Structure 1
């Protein structure tokens, strides 16, 4: 498999998987993703309860396993398809390409389209209806920038592991 195909296929796999986790979590209980909401909504919603924090950790672990696991497994498969010979740049580009696919889906489809534009009832936390934070595109863009930096760091780590092993 070539690098472009690896990024496209695995970027799609990661994006679909994490979108399902995010939207599924919102549909079950939007308060589980309270830390991802703008400050005005977080303040109005109040702190998470102990059971919400426990459930948030479970969903967070699933999210993290997918977020790191898919690019790592993809990089391993790409290395194997090249007969075990892969340079640092290729491993880095594979990881950041896959993570960037999801970061873009998260910004454009989940945050801006679903959260800010459509704002379906299932993601509105009780008592926060109509708050300005639901239309805060800038908040989500800042999250995208942070996500880009974290994707670069994670990709550097993944690439380092594959080049050193």
Structure 2
């Protein structure tokens, strides 16, 4: 059984790091996230420049490391806390619950929050004024559903790492 208090603390930690990376980079250079926007927005603006592609990679590497590394470290801590009660199933459920929690936060707060607070006539990406994609809740919901499936793989990889490497 997962200790709910520890899980919620870990979820807050991972969510804060995730939000800082995504929101910080988006507020600084929104076009580095261009690949995550609806097709109509992408079609209205020029493709990413070489510098934007490089910045996407620069931000992508720490993002991936934090996204996989931080939950793995937190799960190792959980493993030491639970001792003999720690199993692959426990690790998998923990990792999947973390992933779903972040995925839900991304949908409700970051994606749909952006929709609520973005003026389609004055969007954060110049050249995409008036695009219907700025109000496309369905696009982000489908992304959430895809994330739920990706989370199955994420949880399996992390649970395997933590339970097999002792």
Q: How far apart in 2 are the matches of 1:98 and 1:65?
A: 15
Task: Give, in angstroms, the shift of residue 3 of structure 1.
Answer: 3.1
Corresponding residue number in structure 2 for 1:73? 73
Q: Give the secondary structure class of the aligned counterpart of 2:153.
A: helix
Q: More displaced, 37-46 or 121-130? A: 121-130
Q: How far apart in 2 are the matches of 1:10 and 1:126?
A: 37
Q: How far apart in 1 are the matches of 2:130 and 2:123?
A: 12
Q: How far apart in 1 are the matches of 2:150 and 2:6?
A: 20
Give the TM-score, by structure 2 length: 0.91
Q: How far apart in 2 are the matches of 1:6 and 1:47?
A: 43
8 Å CA contact retained: 1:12, 1:101? no
Structure 1: segments with no counterpart, 5+ residues? none
After the TM superposition, which segments of 4 or more aligned residues of structure 1 sit over 4 Å from their partners? 120-123
Corresponding residue number in structure 1 for 2:117? 118
Q: Give the secondary structure class of the aligned counterpart of 1:83.
A: helix
Corresponding residue number in structure 1 for 2:129? 129
Corresponding residue number in structure 1 for 2:10? 10
- How many pairs does the alignment contain? 164
Structure 2: segments with no counterpart, 5+ residues? none
Task: Give, in angstroms, the shift of residue 6 of structure 1.
Answer: 2.9
1:64 equivalent to 2:64? Answer: yes
Q: How far apart in 1 are the matches of 2:78 and 2:84?
A: 9
Q: CA RMSD in A?
A: 1.9
Q: How far apart in 1 are the matches of 2:90 and 2:6?
A: 11
